């Protein structure tokens, strides 16, 4: 009932991840140093916030901490002997000691509890399970007690936490008192119906209940029923009093759990005397509060944190308004420590720099979420008091931020470059001179980013402009500026309150983060979704010794002190190593002697690309250090002392030089813009190979194709690169030298779909201003030679000719030396769409300088290099360019190897599991060969031996599909096409005409209240479920089943056998023989696709061939509680009810829906409403698309289908008629096995259209990762294929590829 109650909030998990994930590319990031408060947090292992809060409370209970540290190795043993059977090593207390010592002394922001949880015996991801902190408190104390049996600390728990309650019944006639005493570790009090702690104590441990009337008590002395008084008193008080508040309840009417959020006060000091049975003279009954464990969330999920008092002044308490905000640095900054920030605009600016991408832009809600995850603070609790709502603050600071109130986009303005520079170089952002007050951190972090926006965005206006955008203040200043309006909303800053007394400082322990708080913050935990859950009181008479004040090492054993000293030294070494690795970059050194200037760009001399020198260097070093390294690697004698260094970048036509970095030798590489994988060009600053080179962005070359002399029989063409800052007038001057046409008479047209005349007004514009790109086409004619209409007509004819042309970028991977010229490895090529691929290849070879007589047929071939899928199959040379699907702008690869012939196809294949890391292989075969011959050729190429192999087809994403079981069929008959991917898998195929079918046993479907436990075989269903689940309870997580399916056998059967024959064979399997199934009607068989049961096999007399059951099909068997006779008019779906205002669902139920009368959305909603006893107008349903982890909302009229949160609409037909929607058709395609989510709109308050779950989020992330992995495998396969092709070419020349909740368990050895 309480499963999933203690789920972690996404904000805190995100924050934890942001802090602790590795930053470096080579090494995991070392732990961060302690925060300014000097106290260490505990890292969350996934869902261990409840454990962290309790451990911090125990650590700052001085009596528990010091009693634990007093136990030495003579009591606990040595950890190194824990695996010895004869040694009784008490691992749990030892790990508690080590954890407490690390929290006190180790210089890190947070400690890990992994070693402690390992000592608990948690080996099955228990740290990912959600549990109650009160339950953990009792179980942990029991484990500690059991671990300390036989030691001097065996009474540690009882001495500190054990108390006694006496339950009494007093006879009103004879006065006899009947007593029953019981021990307690904590007192449990309800919240509902009480105003505060003292009232609840008074009700339970002071007031007496009168037992009279029907509730009279039988007195053993009076021997009759008498009136009596019943009550309880505290007989013995512990040193540490623990109170658990019952905030979680269950509403049996609404059938849902809920959290009591009403106000329940508790005092800082409490006198327990009124609630005690007897008070000895001088008895100590005064207690003071020192820890509050807080639960934030609802009855279905939340997060734990603790407010704890620091008795011994171990932390550095500062006012929350004076604490500095810490921001996690970017890996590119080279900083290991946090960036410290002060003011609000600095914090927002830094978050935008970190999380806003290249444009430094985020939506308002994502900005708030990033603020929490990166800094641990929220705007409402940290800045709103002094800065007002965030929307007003952003509008007021329009000199720093651009805020659009319509789209809610926040963009950092031009100062972002300076901020980014400070945050990545100095490690901190300096305060803005215009900022009056340095704003500092608040102690508590709260709420998700969306809650932040809802709370703070009520003041956002729609803007003053005509389209809702805000007007610029400088253009039209109003009487009162936005900044002044914002300042009016800001409350005047009051004088700081005095610091707490010594030993009365409170801190917020929130997993990894620890912040100081004011005592008044505790009062905010009386009520609400964030409220107190457990209270810890300590006897007020207990005083701390002066020598313990401020001494974190007080009472810690010497061995632990030495261990921590070693760990601190290791941490420092790791930080130094990480710092070095983080700032080490790899750059490439390019020497001018290896380059020549071709077509306005720098290109390697033939074979000189191997002379590139790789250099690994610290980016904090100076340019002078870089020059020194260059001289060492290249040699001083080979270059001048006065070298020039420029950053070089590759363009489509070669390299170009940009920023000069050698002007100031004292500047660091990072400040000079040198980053990882930068390419540094070394030259004299003037010429390369005798040609003057002008660096800079403005002179970046752009390749133009200019056609002139169109009136002649053979038009001339000029293909040349020009700098982007060249004006059209300067271009005409260059053309004058080439064409001889006077500059004033040159008539230029840009050849697009229609010619665009470049008039004389464009002579002053640059190519960059005209947006000219590589491959742009122009025509040039003499305006005096032809009239205006004729000139334009010629340009139109050229445009028409060019419209039939397509251009490509070709990468040459098989350079020739026939003409002994240095060849350009990448070149553009243009050809008509009607030409053949062979003509395209010859044109490429001709342009590369290979003579026609030297062309060798079948020595080279072309492929398409796709950015996403990589290299595509080799092109068939008999096809036309258009027929081969070659479109404008593709990148082609010319490689060695024979092209496929007309009847040949290229097939790739993976030997083994498609999810394995085996590289894909490629083979070119005749499409008329048999499957058997193709398999043999593939086995030979893959180096596999034996006959126990078979081929399977794959789908578009590489998953295994149909088995190619007929070895005599040709590839063409099996519909294997060019570019298809096959799998070679191990396993014998059945005889011809037979199929092998794995059979899996699934649990009996849950058919809900209306149909459960019906039929003579309901007991069989229950026994199967118990067998498969092992007695585990069901989960509320979507898609979870009670028990995993088990494979019960493999059946080999003829394709012409009927469904009845198949069911009879399934019933003869050994596992099924243990269950007495009367007839085949009690057995359901269905297909399994993507690990989910889908289509149900119907019609007993139909053959398996007609049922489309093939080799590779997996079948699911389900034993039913009653006979089933399904026709094609029935759809069997799974329905699951969403738990209101959460992202979880109740357990799935099966719904058998007869669609004879209609298959509309309204029919399905009515059926579901009847099953779930809901009103049909108050439910919303959606279909779960499992393979995409998305939900498609099913609307009544079918006009709105929703995947995720976007809506897909269909237009109505003319006349206003809307056809009835059939859920079996587009866009829903409802079929057997589909999952339908159901929302109760009466209880759902937010995101009613959002049906997604956390599993969907994880699934989408997994799909993204798998896509990246497939892309990487394709790259590796491409590299391997290239290597194989080169090798084959050389050989040819020489001769000629929510788990179910379980209770907490802590395993303790036997120390009795």
Question: What span, in angstroms and rounded, lies between the C-alpha atoms of 518 and 320?
Answer: 8
Residue 424 near residue 328, CB atoms below 8 Å: no
Burial (CB count within 10 angstroms: exposed 0-12, middle 13-18, buried 19+), residue 939: middle
Kind plus residue range of the DSSP H or E element containing 1192: strand 1190-1194
Question: Could you give the count of Cα atoms lying within 13 Å of 973 in the half-sphere of its Cβ?
Answer: 11
Q: What is the CA radius of gyration of the chain?
A: 39
Residue tagged active-site, from 49, 276, 368, 1116 = 49
Contacts of 1048 (CB under 8 A, 6+ apart): 999, 1000, 1001, 1069, 1070, 1071, 1072, 1117
Active site annotation includes 660: no
Measured over the CA atoms of residue 1239, residue 1243, residue 1249 and residue 1252, the dihedral's sign is: negative
Q: How far is CA 626 from CA 577, 588, 662, 666, in A?
A: 21, 12, 10, 11
φ, ψ of residue 651 to 5 degrees: the values are: -110, 170
Question: What span, in angstroms and rounded, lies between the C-alpha atoms of 1087 and 1081?
Answer: 17
The two three-digit tokens of residue 357, written as one number: 């991408």
900-931: b or e for each residue (b if 16 or more CB lie within 10 Å)? beeebbbbbbbbeebeeebbbbbbbbebeebb
φ, ψ of residue 102 to 5 degrees: the values are: -65, -40
The two three-digit tokens of residue 970, written as one number: 């040709």
Residue 262 near residue 527, CB atoms below 8 Å: yes
Q: How far is CA 690 from CA 79, 683, 684, in A?
A: 73, 12, 11
Question: What span, in angstroms and rounded, lies between the C-alpha atoms of 748 and 763?
Answer: 10
In terms of DSSP H, where are the helices of 515-602? 558-582
In terms of DSSP H, where are the helices of 1155-1253? 1161-1172
Give the DSSP letter string of 414-433. TTHHHHHHHHHHTSBPPPPT
The two three-digit tokens of residue 1125, written as one number: 């006779």
Question: What span, in angstroms and rounded, lies between the C-alpha atoms of 550 and 569?
Answer: 23
Question: What span, in angstroms and rounded, lies between the C-alpha atoms of 514 and 357?
Answer: 29
Question: What span, in angstroms and rounded, lies between the C-alpha atoms of 1060 and 1054?
Answer: 13
Question: What span, in angstroms and rounded, lies between the C-alpha atoms of 614 and 881?
Answer: 41
Residue with tokens 């509050």: 292
Residue tagged active-site, from 131, 295, 303, 1184 = 303
Burial (CB count within 10 angstroms: exposed 0-12, middle 13-18, buried 19+), residue 1127: exposed
Question: What span, in angstroms and rounded, lies between the C-alpha atoms of 694 and 197?
Answer: 81
For residue 373, the SS3 value is: helix
Question: What span, in angstroms and rounded, lies between the C-alpha atoms of 907 and 925?
Answer: 8
Question: Cis omega (within 30 of 0) on the bond before 69?
Answer: no
For residue 1291, the SS3 value is: helix
Contacts of 279 (CB under 8 A, 6+ apart): 273, 285
Query: Closest Cα to residue 53, out of 41, 62, 64?
Result: 41
Active site annotation includes 303: yes
Catalytic annotation, residues: 49, 303
């Amino acid at each position: 009932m309480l499963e999933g109650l203690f789920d972690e909030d996404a904000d805190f998990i995100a924050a934890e991840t942001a802090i602790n994930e590795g930053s470096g590319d080579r090494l995991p990031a070392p732990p961060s140093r302690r925060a300014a408060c000097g106290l260490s947090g505990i890292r969350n292992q996934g869902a261990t916030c409840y454990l962290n809060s309790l451990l911090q409370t125990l650590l700052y209970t001085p009596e528990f901490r010091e009693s634990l540290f007093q136990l030495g190795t003579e009591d606990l043993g040595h950890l190194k002997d824990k695996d010895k059977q004869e040694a009784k090593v008490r691992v749990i207390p030892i790990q508690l000691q080590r954890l407490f010592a690390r929290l006190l002394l180790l210089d890190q922001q947070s400690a890990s509890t992994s070693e402690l949880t390992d000592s608990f015996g948690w080996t099955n991801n228990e740290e990912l399970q959600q549990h109650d902190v009160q339950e953990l408190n009792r179980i942990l104390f029991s484990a500690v007690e059991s671990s300390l049996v036989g030691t001097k600390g065996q009474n540690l728990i009882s001495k500190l936490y054990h108390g006694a309650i006496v339950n009494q019944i007093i006879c009103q006639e004879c006065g006899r008192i009947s007593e029953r005493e019981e021990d307690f570790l904590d007192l449990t009090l309800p919240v509902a119906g009480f105003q505060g702690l003292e009232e609840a104590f008074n009700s339970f441990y002071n007031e007496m209940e009168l037992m009279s009337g029907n509730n009279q008590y039988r007195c053993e002395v009076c021997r009759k029923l008498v009136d009596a008084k019943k009550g309880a008193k505290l007989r013995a008080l512990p040193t540490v009093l623990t109170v658990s508040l019952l905030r979680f309840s269950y509403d049996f009417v609404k059938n849902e759990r809920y959290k009591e959020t009403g106000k329940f006060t508790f005092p800082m000091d409490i006198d327990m005397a009124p609630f005690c049975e007897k008070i000895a003279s001088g008895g100590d009954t005064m207690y003071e509060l020192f820890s509050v464990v807080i639960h934030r969330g609802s009855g279905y999920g939340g997060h734990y944190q603790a407010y704890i008092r620091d008795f011994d002044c171990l932390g550095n308490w500062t006012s929350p308004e004076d604490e500095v905000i810490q921001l996690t640095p970017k890996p590119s900054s080279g900083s290991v420590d946090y960036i410290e920030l002060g003011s609000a605009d600095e914090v927002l600016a830094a978050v935008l720099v970190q999380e806003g991408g290249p444009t430094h832009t985020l939506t308002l809600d994502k900005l708030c979420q990033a603020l929490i995850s990166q800094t641990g603070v929220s705007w409402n609790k940290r800045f709103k008091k002094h800065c007002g709502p965030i929307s007003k603050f952003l509008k007021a600071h329009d000199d720093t931020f651009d805020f659009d109130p319509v789209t809610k986009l926040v963009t950092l303005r031009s100062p972002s470059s300076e901020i980014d520079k400070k945050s990545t170089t100095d490690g901190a952002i300096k305060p803005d001179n215009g900022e009056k007050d340095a704003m500092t951190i608040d102690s508590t972090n709260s709420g998700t980013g969306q809650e932040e926006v809802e709370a703070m965005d009520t003041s956002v206006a729609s803007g003053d402009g005509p389209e809702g955008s805000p007007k610029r203040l400088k253009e039209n200043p109003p009487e009162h500026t936005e900044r002044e309006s914002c300042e009016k909303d800001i409350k005047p800053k009051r004088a700081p309150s005095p610091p707490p007394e010594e030993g009365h400082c409170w801190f917020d322990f929130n997993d990894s983060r620890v912040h100081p708080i004011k005592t008044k913050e505790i009062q905010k935990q009386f009520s609400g979704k964030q409220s107190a859950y457990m209270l810890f009181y300590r006897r007020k008479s207990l005083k701390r010794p002066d020598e313990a004040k401020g001494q974190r090492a007080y009472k810690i054993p010497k061995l632990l002190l030495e261990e921590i000293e070693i760990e601190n030294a290791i941490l420092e070494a790791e930080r130094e190593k990480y710092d070095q690795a983080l700032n080490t970059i790899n750059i490439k050194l390019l020497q001018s002697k290896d380059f020549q200037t071709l077509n306005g760009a720098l290109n390697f001399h033939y074979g000189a690309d191997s002379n590139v020198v790789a250099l690994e260097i610290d980016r904090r070093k100076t340019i002078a250090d870089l020059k020194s390294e260059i001289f060492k690697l290249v040699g001083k004698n080979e270059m001048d002392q006065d070298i020039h260094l420029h950053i070089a970048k590759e363009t489509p036509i070669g390299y170009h030089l940009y920023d000069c970095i050698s002007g100031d030798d004292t500047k660091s590489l990072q400040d000079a813009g040198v980053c990882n994988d930068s390419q540094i060009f070394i030259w004299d600053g003037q010429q390369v190979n005798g040609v003057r080179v002008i660096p800079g962005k403005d002179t970046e070359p752009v390749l133009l194709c200019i056609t002139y002399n169109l009136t002649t029989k053979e038009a001339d063409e000029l293909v040349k690169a020009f700098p982007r800052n060249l004006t059209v007038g300067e271009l005409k001057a260059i053309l004058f030298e080439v064409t001889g046409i006077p500059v004033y008479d040159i008539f230029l047209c840009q050849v697009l779909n229609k010619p665009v005349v470049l008039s004389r007004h464009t002579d002053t514009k640059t190519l960059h201003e005209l947006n000219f790109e590589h491959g742009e086409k122009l025509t040039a004619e003499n305006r005096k030679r032809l009239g205006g209409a004729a000139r334009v007509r010629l340009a139109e004819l050229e445009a028409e000719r060019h419209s039939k042309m397509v251009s490509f970028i070709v990468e040459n991977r098989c350079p020739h030396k026939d003409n002994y010229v240095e060849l350009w490895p990448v070149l553009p090529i243009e050809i008509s769409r009607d030409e053949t691929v062979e003509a395209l290849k010859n044109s490429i070879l001709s342009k590369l300088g290979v003579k026609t007589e030297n062309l060798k047929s079948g020595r080279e071939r072309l492929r398409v290099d796709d950015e996403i899928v990589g290299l595509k199959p080799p092109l068939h040379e008999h096809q036309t360019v258009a027929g081969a699907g070659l479109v404008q702008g593709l990148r082609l690869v010319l490689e060695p190897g024979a092209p496929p012939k007309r009847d040949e196809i290229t097939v790739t294949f993976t030997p083994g599991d498609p999810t394995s890391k085996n590289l894909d292989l490629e083979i070119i075969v005749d499409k008329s060969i048999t499957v058997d011959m193709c398999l043999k050729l593939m086995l030979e190429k893959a180096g596999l031996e034996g006959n126990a192999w078979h081929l399977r087809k794959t789908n578009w994403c590489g998953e295994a599909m149909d088995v190619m079981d007929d070895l005599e069929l040709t590839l063409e008959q099996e519909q294997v096409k060019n570019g298809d991917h096959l799998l070679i898998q191990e396993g014998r195929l059945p005889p011809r005409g037979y199929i092998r079918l794995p059979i899996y046993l699934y649990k009996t479907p849950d058919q809900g209240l209306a149909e459960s436990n019906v039929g003579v075989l309901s007991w069989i269903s229950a026994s199967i479920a118990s067998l498969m689940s092992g007695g585990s309870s069901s989960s509320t997580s979507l898609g979870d089943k009670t028990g995993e399916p088990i494979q019960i056998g493999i059946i080999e059967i003829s394709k012409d056998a009927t469904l009845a024959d198949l069911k009879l064979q399934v019933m003869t399997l050994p596992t099924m023989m243990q269950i007495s199934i009367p007839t085949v009607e009690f057995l359901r068989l269905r297909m399994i696709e993507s690990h989910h049961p889908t289509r149900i096999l119907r019609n007993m007399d139909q053959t398996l061939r007609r049922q489309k059951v093939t080799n590779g099909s997996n079948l699911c068997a389900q034993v039913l509680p009653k006979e089933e006779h399904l026709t094609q008019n029935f759809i069997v779906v799974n329905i699951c009810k969403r738990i209101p205002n959460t992202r979880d669902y109740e357990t799935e139920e099966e719904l058998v829906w007869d669609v004879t009368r209609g298959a509309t959305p309204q029919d399905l909603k009515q059926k579901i409403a009847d099953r779930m006893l809901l009103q049909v107008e108050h439910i919303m349903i959606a279909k779960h698309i499992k393979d995409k982890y998305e939900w498609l909302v099913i609307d009544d009229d079918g006009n709105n289908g929703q995947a995720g949160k976007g809506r897909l609409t269909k237009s109505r037909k003319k006349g206003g008629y809307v056809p009835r929607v059939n859920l079996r058709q587009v866009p829903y395609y409802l079929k057997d096995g589909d999952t339908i989510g159901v929302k109760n709109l009466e209880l759902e308050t937010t995101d009613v259209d959002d049906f997604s779950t956390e599993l969907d989020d994880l699934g989408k992330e997994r799909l993204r990762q798998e896509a990246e992995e497939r892309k990487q495998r394709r790259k590796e396969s491409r590299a391997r294929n290239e290597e194989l092709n080169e090798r084959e070419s050389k050989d040819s020349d020489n001769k000629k590829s929510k788990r179910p909740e379980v209770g907490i368990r802590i395993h303790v050895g036997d120390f009795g």
